[in-house]
């Protein structure tokens, strides 16, 4: 089991992470990362916005980072994040009613759609 704080350092403290960090810096310098963030972030935010009123109550974020507040009557963030983990979607709860979507650089629009569908299913299940 991963405990809070153990997985939050993307490029922290080991040779493999440093080797992966080098091409990421190159992507940032050449703008690939920013272009993907703008395109896929807009897609993620639109898909999540479609859930407002169906268990989600608010959406905030920038690029492909998004926080979604869920109805407190359905579940707290920790419970919902565990439901999503059972469905193969890993995200960060904020110990309240918010869930943080922070997809990896390599995510595709289809994978975003799949994750949001699974989130919608978990919201529906919590409400039934």
* Domain containing residue 36: CATH number: 3.90.1150.10
**Where is pLDDT greater, at 100 or 75?**
100
Specify the pLDDT at position 10. Answer: 58
Domain assignment present for 28: yes
| Segment 108-116 long-range contacts (CB within 8 Å, at least 24 positions apart) | 109/40, 109/43, 112/40, 112/43, 112/44, 112/47, 113/47, 115/89, 116/44, 116/47, 116/48, 116/50, 116/51
Domain assignment present for 112: yes
pTM value is 0.77
pLDDT surpassing 80 at residue 111: yes
Question: Average pLDDT in the 6-35 region?
Answer: 73
Domain assignment present for 115: yes
Q: Are strands 98-101 and 65-70 parallel, antiparallel or unpaired?
A: antiparallel
Three-state DSSP class for 56? Answer: strand
pLDDT surpassing 60 at residue 92: yes
The range of the structural domain enclosing residue 60 comes to 15-127
Domain assignment present for 71: yes
Please give the tally of structural domains in the chain.
Answer: 1
| Residues 28-87: tens digit of each pLDDT | 787 777 888 889 999 999 999 999 999 999 999 998 899 999 998 888 888 999 999 999
Q: How far is residue 55 from each of residues 67, 75, 87, 115, measured CA to CA in Å?
A: 14, 10, 17, 16
Specify the pLDDT at position 56. Answer: 95
pLDDT surpassing 90 at residue 108: yes
**Where is pLDDT greater, at 93 or 47?**
47
Domain assignment present for 101: yes
| Mean of per-residue pLDDT scores for the chain | 86
Domain assignment present for 3: no
Specify the pLDDT at position 29. Answer: 82
Residue identified by tokens 């997985």 is 7
């Amino acid at each position: 089991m991963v405990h809070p704080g153990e997985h939050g350092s993307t490029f922290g403290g080991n040779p493999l992470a440093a080797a992966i960090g080098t091409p990421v810096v190159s992507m940032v310098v050449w703008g690939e990362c920013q272009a993907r963030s703008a395109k896929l972030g807009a897609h993620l935010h639109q898909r999540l916005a479609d859930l407002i009123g169906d268990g989600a109550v608010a959406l905030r974020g920038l690029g492909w980072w998004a926080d979604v507040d869920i109805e407190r009557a359905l579940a707290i963030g920790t419970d919902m994040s565990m439901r999503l983990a059972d469905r193969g979607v890993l995200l960060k709860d904020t110990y309240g009613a918010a869930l943080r979507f922070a997809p990896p650089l390599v995510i595709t629009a289809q994978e975003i759609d799949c994750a949001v569908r699974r989130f919608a299913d978990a919201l529906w299940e919590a409400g039934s």
